Structure 1
Amino acid sequence: MSIKKVTKAVFPVAGMGTRFLPATKSVPKEILSLVDRPLIQYAIDEARAAGIEEFIFVTSRGKTALEDYFDVSPTLQASLEASNKTELLEILRQTNMDDGRIAYVRQHRALGLGHAVWCARRLIGDEPFAVMLPDDVIAGDTPCLAQMVEAYEQTGGNIVAAMEVPTEKTSSYGILDISEDMGSTVRVRGMVEKPKSNPPSNLAVIGRYILTPQVLETLDKKETGAGGEIQLTDAIAKEITASNNVYGFRFSGQRYDCGSKAGFLQATVAYGLARDDLREEFSSFLTDMVASGKITT
């Protein structure tokens, strides 16, 4: 059986980012910078490393800054060229997207992650596709989506990124019910969205997916689930009954929940300390702050 290559990725970025107000009053959350790169750039770089060629953004009103970010900036480019700042020019070029590689669709109503993915159905067509949530920033030697693509080439079907979480936190995630554990890959017999009690495991779904177009057919029915929203995990779960082709993938790497303030700060510290140009000064500052017990604002 030949397995179609994954070349399209959907980025649901229609949320208002209310947990980061007032910063997100006029700036999309996805543009908030982790050290010196916005969250969305980390997701795009990860997608590119996995062989993604077409990038589909599901947006909403107030996201024009996100669209502008990936556009060419002739004035800035000319200024850098005139100043012979070649290193900064290269950084700038990395943010540009080739013509025809990026597309935007609107989600007019906040009806859930499943609905956001459904909004991109006409651009996805009859092909497997990835879904990436920019809030989840994953650091690893091999980018998470690239790991998943490699696993997908062996299994086909639907693959969700998964990580183990404490039992008391399972109510905040979609949780996998496992029928067969094959190491990094597990076969899934069920998925429960945010179980209030008795979770089937502690293996939680996080923001990376590789999905078949059949999932879109299920989403097309617009059935609501937890919170009265159209849940992506519910649509994936139905593929278990229909085709028994859903897998969880234990990725190698550290995931940071940058949709929360604490997670964003943790990621900032981790990525700051990982930078050769920042590590010494930043580490010294953190050490002095902890030793003194003083916090200034």
Structure 2
Amino acid sequence: MKIKKAVVLAAGLGTRLLPATRSQPKEMLPVGRKPIIHYVLEEIRGVGISKVLLVTGKMKRAIEDYFEKDKPAPFYIRQGEKKGTAGALLPAEPFVENEPFVVAYGDSLIKDSSSPSLLERMADVYQQKKAAAVLAIEEVSPREIKKYGVVKIQNSKQGVFQIVDIIEKPKSGKAPSNLVSAARFIFEPIIFKMIHRIKPRQKELWLTDALRLLIKNGYPVYGVKLEPGEKRYDVGSFESYYKTFLELALSDKEFGKPLKIYIKNLLKGNATTNFSNYAN
């Protein structure tokens, strides 16, 4: 993969996960045997990207301590006064220089069993289509649409399509599709020019608005849909965190099977406290 730089956005306050995030960043909450952000960096490094910038904020020192001994270690920068997803990306402009780069949300992990991987397929589309931006896209249920940036598409072929508009958290009945942005992007540096031009909404700058401006100015933007073997986990609320932890714990090679038996017995009201009883 020719793209050599990635930016991980990890500056959010995690208010929906209070009080758990009072003493540690949401990105450092454990999911199975690893913190959330560990999976994100594994995904990025797994496609050969070694230069990674983590955009952090207040109360995020634990992230720097965690990756301190990594070789190569990530770079770090603090988010400035401008908030929102686009505001978080702005400090990465000097790091990116004039190169294409990956962006990943630090509280969203992708369970990926596909080959080539999601990021590799996105990079192929970026190169083949000469795109200014490529988004990972997933299909969601109608009740979930209001939580995400929803895309309007055309020219769909084998999970790849051109994006002609994107709407942030549309009202019920106003969504152009049930396809939403899935927390992974590839951008040309032109995205920063768009971010500098957009206006804040509720005092925050959003990548959705920068992408809409990119499309409006004639730049090609494409989407790559997650395949059946891929799943995104958005660990931004207690509901999604519990589901993510449970699913990954059940896939643990050592404890997954006994945990499944334990849960079945727990639901029946006859589980024992000795977990080793369920091993083998």
TM-score in same-fold range (> 0.5):
yes
Which position in structure 1 is the counterpart of 2:81? 109
**Equivalent-residue separation in structure 1 for 2:21 and 2:252 (angstroms):** 26
Secondary structure at the aligned position of 1:113 is classed as: helix
Question: Equivalent of 2:28, from 31, 39, 45?
Answer: 31
1:175 counterpart = 2:150: yes
**Equivalent-residue separation in structure 1 for 2:206 and 2:35 (angstroms):** 27
1:63 counterpart = 2:56: no
User: After TM superposition, which residue ranges in structure 1, 4 or more long, deviate above 3 angstroms?
Assistant: none
1:8 counterpart = 2:19: no
Secondary structure at the aligned position of 1:277 is classed as: coil
- Deviation, structure 1 residue 222: 4.6
1:154 counterpart = 2:128: yes
- Deviation, structure 1 residue 153: 3.1
Q: Is the Cα contact below 8 Å between 1:111 and 1:229 reproduced in 2?
A: yes
Superposition map of 1:45-60 within 5 A: 45-60=42-57
**Equivalent-residue separation in structure 2 for 1:161 and 1:250 (angstroms):** 6
**Equivalent-residue separation in structure 2 for 1:237 and 1:173 (angstroms):** 15
**Equivalent-residue separation in structure 1 for 2:221 and 2:5 (angstroms):** 19
Superposition map of 1:80-99 within 5 A: 96-98=70-72
How many residues are paired up? 266
Which position in structure 2 is the counterpart of 1:231? 206
1:272 counterpart = 2:244: no
**Equivalent-residue separation in structure 1 for 2:234 and 2:259 (angstroms):** 22
Which position in structure 1 is the counterpart of 2:278? none
**Equivalent-residue separation in structure 2 for 1:156 and 1:49 (angstroms):** 23
1:204 counterpart = 2:180: yes
- Deviation, structure 1 residue 214: 0.6
Q: Is the Cα contact below 8 Å between 2:198 and 2:210 reproduced in 1?
A: no
Q: Which runs of 5+ in 2 are unaligned?
A: 274-280
Secondary structure at the aligned position of 2:41 is classed as: helix
**Equivalent-residue separation in structure 2 for 1:167 and 1:206 (angstroms):** 16
Which position in structure 2 is the counterpart of 1:87? none
TM-score (norm 2): 0.89
- Deviation, structure 1 residue 123: 0.7
**Equivalent-residue separation in structure 2 for 1:69 and 1:131 (angstroms):** 20
Which position in structure 2 is the counterpart of 1:140? 112
TM-score (norm 1): 0.84
Distance 1:138 1:293, change over 3 A: farther
**Equivalent-residue separation in structure 1 for 2:216 and 2:103 (angstroms):** 22
Question: Equivalent of 2:216, from 210, 233, 241?
Answer: 241
Which position in structure 1 is the counterpart of 2:41? 44
Q: Is the Cα contact below 8 Å between 1:188 and 1:246 reproduced in 2?
A: yes
Which position in structure 1 is the counterpart of 2:240? 263
Post-superposition Cα deviations, 1:75-127, rounded to whole Å, max 9, x if no partner, equal xxxxxxxxxxxxxxxxxxxxx131xx521111133610001111111111111
The RMSD of aligned alpha carbons is 2.0
